Amino acid sequence: MTNEPSELSESSAPDVPTDIRLIGDDELPAWSQALNVGFLRPSAVSEVQLEGRRVADAGSRVYGAFEGERVVATYRSFDQELTVPGGARVPVNAISNVTVTPTHRRRGLLTRTIREDLRAAKERGDVAATLIAAEYPIYGRYGFGPATSMAEWSIDVPRTGLDPRWAAPGCGGRVELLEPEEVRKAGPELHERFRRGRPGAVSRTQPWWDIVTGALRTYDGERPVPTFVAYRSPEGEIDGLAAYEVDDAWTGGGQAANTLTVKWLIGVTPQAERALWYFLCSIDWVTTVKSGWRSPGDLLPRLLPDPRAARITQLSDWLWVRILDVVRALEARTYDTTGEVVLEVDDPAGLAGGRFLLAASPEGASCVRSTRGADLALDVTDLASLWLGDESVARLVALGRVREVRAGAVREADALLRTSGRPWCPDMF
């Protein structure tokens, strides 16, 4: 996750030389301390945490801003795959661990680092860059736009209307608890199946599974290992997995009032999702279930006999995208209708601007640079929001972010770019 709320404007800070570069292994302790300070955590770093980070971040591009030997800003990027509409997976540059020490805000440290990293990503051939933004106003300056959204529900279990005697799915499948080592084996294959059909989903590494199952301690054992539950289809295949935690809360009258919090839940079939949610809502002594980060278009509320038992407690932007190659980005995804649109893309950073003709149909798409007159004019940030199909061209026009040059182009572009299902990224990174 990125947490850099400090560079919205420049200030008259002291002119102290700051060296921004990739760190060496001997500089990891100082870098990790600066990261903790930036995320408002205690600065102390243990050997267990350092060793966990060495494994988890292997292959990452870890930048530090140095003032002498002291690290005053952190930044990390790493290789990732992003699923686009139609199921294709494109290489992207994922950005995380962005912080600036409070005493060194507004000195352009993020600007210098992210510009260098984005240029390198484009040269490597990455189609886009991705991040989860802690604060909204920052990353639009660098060409990022919100491409997926997130919703979280709180479920009032007694109100759901579910049969309190529910014990197993009625479809012939079954629900079972798994040990962490079983999740490490079954999880990666299930997630590969899941992300093939979910635009907005990103790849997970083996260290990701090691961290969430407690085999790799990047937080020095501070985080408890959750409970894991799987749904097996009637054929015996794992089609869904969830991780959850339950607190220990009782009312003054001795009545259970426990809250179950879902850490993550993925399913490759509606039957798997239904079975997992029903199981979580059927656990004795649990009166509230918090859904964790879900798509705003999630099936969850309508899976319940009384959908009003699920109340949205959070609705926000989630995955942000920065397009680095317009041609490959638009050709990689699929389109449900046939049409052509000429896009005039403005990119002040000079990485992905130009005029492009997109000709698309359900059989495929081509995107080429063009000298034809533009149909729509927009910034690269807004193209990012439209790319995965979640945003509406008409809405961006109403907001003054996209300009219709040719009459009728808005309606035609919306028909091309919108998707029947909303993209969703279930991960924080």
Written as one letter, the residue type at 67 is: E
Q: Is 40 exposed, middle or buried (0-12, 13-18, 19+ CB in 10 A)?
A: exposed
Nearest to 117 by CA among 86, 87, 96: 96
Which residue's entry shows tokens 């197993």? Answer: 168
Q: Are 130 and 338 in contact (CB under 8 A)?
A: no
Buried-state track 338-357, b at ≥16 Cβ within 10 A, e below 16: ebbbbbbbebebebbbebbb
**Cβ neighbour number for residue 235 with a 10 Å cutoff:** 8
Nearest to 52 by CA among 38, 32, 30: 32
Token reading at 105:
């805000």
Rg, Å, the chain Cα set: 23
Out of 63, 66, 78, 139, which one is annotated catalytic?
139
Q: Are 301 and 120 in contact (CB under 8 A)?
A: no
DSSP state of 202: B
DSSP string, 3-45: --TT-SS---------EEEEPPGGGHHHHHHHHHHHTTS----
DSSP string, 130-145: EEEBSSSSSGGGGT-E
Q: Are 388 and 374 in contact (CB under 8 A)?
A: no
Nearest to 122 by CA among 146, 98, 143: 143
Measure Cα distances from 335 to 194, 258, 326, 329, 417 in Å.
Answer: 21, 45, 16, 13, 7
Q: What whole-number distance in Å separates Cα of residue 82 and Cα of residue 59?
A: 18
Token reading at 320:
């942000």
139: annotated active-site residue: yes
Nearest to 268 by CA among 373, 200, 197: 197
Written as one letter, the residue type at 420 is: S
356: annotated active-site residue: no
Is the Cα torsion angle 53, 59, 63, 68 positive or negative in sign?
Answer: positive
Provide the annotated active-site residues.
139, 429
